[in-house]
Amino acid sequence: MELGSILYLSRKDVEAAQVPMPEVIEALENMFVEKGAGRVEMPPKPGIHTRPDAFIHAMPAYLPDVEAAGLKWVSGYPGNQARGLPYITGLLILNDPETGIPLAIMDCTWITAMRTGAATAIAAKYLARRDSATVGIVACGVQGRSNLEALACTFEIKKVKAYDVSFEIAQRYAGEMGAQLEMDIEPVRALPDAVGGLDIVVTSGPILKQPKPLIQPGWLASGSFASLVDFDSYWQGAALREADKLATDDLAQMRYYREEGYFRDTPEAYADLGEIVAGKKPGRETEGERTVAINLGLALEDMATAIRVYRRAKAMKLGIALPL
């Protein structure tokens, strides 16, 4: 019996499939329900580290509810930005859950950005105040863009303050994202201005094993929510200990990273998003709570998104069929 072919989807093909952010958010929220119920399979992600603060991770997962199984092979290299290269690159393989035969191989850059933003929006839905209207974006790269796009799908945002170590990048972000989302975005020169007094704060700098965090206690206002897309790289331990609730997207992975030397001064999480979304643990309970989510990035999120990309691409006849 011949194995047939595998569908190759370039980054251009993945983007051309045009899976909209609301659909990615819906896919991930359904996935977190399944995760909270224990109906998924995802081991902690192993990795190799060829340079300081760089990683190449293998991320396998199986989501039976939508018959999505596969692996993402993804790298994050902070030094790439100085070379004019993206911080995050990689490939994702989908397999047939019935036979194990590979179905598709695709660029994972767009998927990683979109699902990370969607995970922040879901965390905010359950942990931020429902009337949240102001947002601080710390680090105005790819994740800063996708996180704001996802939050704009979930909240009526009236004001955004954007900070980056390069003020020029913050200005460009404000102009481009303001036009895209039709909202008021103010670039700020000082980090505290993108944190203090805002309802939702997202930090998305490089992930560092031995960070020199800058966000201090007292900066995050009472009643605010913070999404840490960059582990604890921007946040001092004392600032995180001010949180009334600190959640993560996966408790087992957070324990794994602690064993690897990350999160040395970060409090333990009280729940993961699966437990919260499935109703097993409470989300926000009072208006004045400070809440924090440290989303590590899950292979389940990738598979929930990739299967939708694959099915749209097939229907739209995108990509190239390669013989196995």
Active-site annotation, residues: 72
Residue 11 and residue 56: Cα distance in Å, rounded? 19
Tokens of 104: 């598709």
